[in-house]
Chain A
Amino acid sequence: MTTTQTHFNNRVAKLIQLSRDQHISDFTRFDWSQTLSDNDWWISPELLTLHGTSYFEQASEAQLKLLSKWECINLFSLNVTGEQELLAGVAELLHTPMLKEVNEYLHHFIDEENQHMWYFGKFCEIYGGKIYGNKKLQLSDLQFDTRLAILTRFAQIFIFEEVGHYYNVKTALDSRVHPFIREINDAHRNDEARHITFGRALLSKLASGIEQDYPSATLLKISNHLRRYIKVTIESLYNPAMYRDAGFVSGIAIRSALLADSRRQDFHAGEHLKKIISLLLDIHLLQPEIASEPSN
């Protein structure tokens, strides 16, 4: 067994141990009798999709707080629908020979993600009265071999979890946000930190050598696919329904204006996505020439 393999196995064993040591039933840990109001901050004002734009400057604090409620419901809804989609993908991969050494961890992963979906869904139903629906349609016609299919799936999980983790960490630490919402974000970030560590290790291991093993056209296809996934994931943060629920007349108009705003694009390209892009470039799942192009 190589040093790299031993190191990887030790890391997975440690993650399994941590999942067992830190196991708490999310079904009983939260006090759902807490009340939240439209006058609370539900996410940090700096995390609002309006932040940095003229919309933010022109809005009153009351408007921003109401929007923070619906942006929180949107983020939690994305956790429900996004994790549902990704979990189905991971469940399909259980007992795949190529993932034999991580099979046990995948059971913990599924267990934890299932609990996350439950508490995020419950929160949305109790405090928002609904879960915002997923509008993505799977029209993918990509055909990859097993290794690339696994890599693509875990790359998507990694992107999705890292994008959400940014919001969890910031919100959990922000004393302006209602304590119950901070508690939920804190619980989620603890589990997600392990999942992200696992995702990084697995991606690095499986992707090792792909630049020699596959033609550049195939790698370009994967890169384009992941670029598109990143774009759709970021755009899902700008849900028109949440702007309408917060009292804005046209949700679509605000979404379009914000997505076209260079300050919002800079935020996502920089602080928000930097670590994600950097890893995917390092392991050749993204192509550098595409990475340097502005998204549109």
Chain B
Amino acid sequence: MNQVISYDRVNEIKRWLLSKKKYLPDIPFDLDLIENNIVDSLSFVEYVLLIEEISGKEVIVDDAVLDKVRTLDRVQRNYMD
């Protein structure tokens, strides 16, 4: 049986990002948030803290973290599933 994936929680993160970048009409799930400067070094801490609060999982900030959180798809896969 296929598992039903809920995007409710990652959508909360998307809404938060859109509230910070009001000029964006939308953020596609596969958009690179780092390269497109939607998350920068200043907002990265907030971004990670929000993922932790919504997912209930700890985000370990190490050399591999950027690849785990650089798109909403990846956040869903690594922290919300």
Listed in ascending order, the chain A residues whose CB lies under 8 Å from chain B are 133-140, 228, 232, 235-236, 239-241, 244, 250-252, 255
Contact = CB atoms under 8 A, between A and B. Distances in A.
Interface of B: 40-42, 44-45, 48-50, 52-53, 58-61, 65-66
Chief secondary structure at chain B's binding surface: helix
A251 B61 CA distance: 19
Contacts of A251: 49, 53
Nearest to A141: B41
Contacts of A137: 41, 44-45, 61, 65-66
A240 B42 contact: no
B52 A240 contact: yes
B42 A228 contact: yes
Chief secondary structure at chain A's binding surface: loop
Given A135-B61, A139-B40, A240-B49, 17 more contacts: A133-B61, A135-B48, A135-B59, A136-B44, A136-B45, A136-B61, A137-B41, A139-B41, A140-B41, A232-B42, A239-B49, A240-B53, A241-B52, A244-B53, A250-B53, A251-B49, A251-B53
B17 to A, nearest CB: 14
B8 to A, nearest CB: 16
A232 B45 contact: yes
Contact of B49 (A140, A228, A252): A252
Contacts of B44: 135-137, 139
A93 B81 CA distance: 44
Nearest to A239: B49
Most B-side CB within 10 Å, residue of A139, A232, A236: A139
Contact of B60 (A133, A140, A235): A133
Nearest to B53: A252
Nearest to B50: A252
Contacts of B49: 135, 239-240, 251-252, 255
7 contacts: A133-B60, A137-B44, A139-B40, A241-B52, A244-B53, A251-B53, A252-B50
Contacts of B53: 240, 244, 250-252
Nearest to A140: B41
B78 to A, nearest CB: 16
A235 B48 CA distance: 14
